[in-house]
């Protein structure tokens, strides 16, 4: 169970780094926002889902 939590946290950290770099680049590029708007929103939804799943599973361990 601890390994699952660690993998979820690792995935959360990697996705966070990608979003921290990717969203400003997307917003700064002319015309890119319209093309990748759905990808950005989907990534943010996955990020929020990872936070919720990680916190719920972590509550069973602590």
CATH number at residue 42: 1.10.287
Q: Which of 17, 23, 21 has its CA nearest to residue 37?
A: 23
Residue 52, domain extent: 2-26+33-61
Query: Per-residue confidence at 61, pLDDT binned at 50, 70, 90?
Result: confident
pTM here?
Answer: 0.86
For residue 62, the model assigns a pLDDT of 65
* pLDDT tens-place string over residues 13-34: 999 999 999 999 999 999 888 8
Domain count, the chain: 1
Burial class (CB in 10 A: 0-12, 13-18, 19+), 6: exposed
Buried b (16+ CB within 10 A) or exposed e, 37-58: eeebeebeeeeeebeeebeeee
């Amino acid at each position: 169970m601890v390994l699952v939590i660690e993998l979820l946290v690792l995935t959360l950290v990697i996705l966070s780094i990608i979003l921290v770099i990717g969203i400003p680049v997307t917003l700064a590029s002319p015309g890119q926002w319209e093309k990748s708007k759905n990808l950005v929103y989907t990534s943010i939804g996955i990020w929020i889902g990872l936070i919720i799943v990680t916190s719920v599973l972590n509550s069973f361990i602590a």
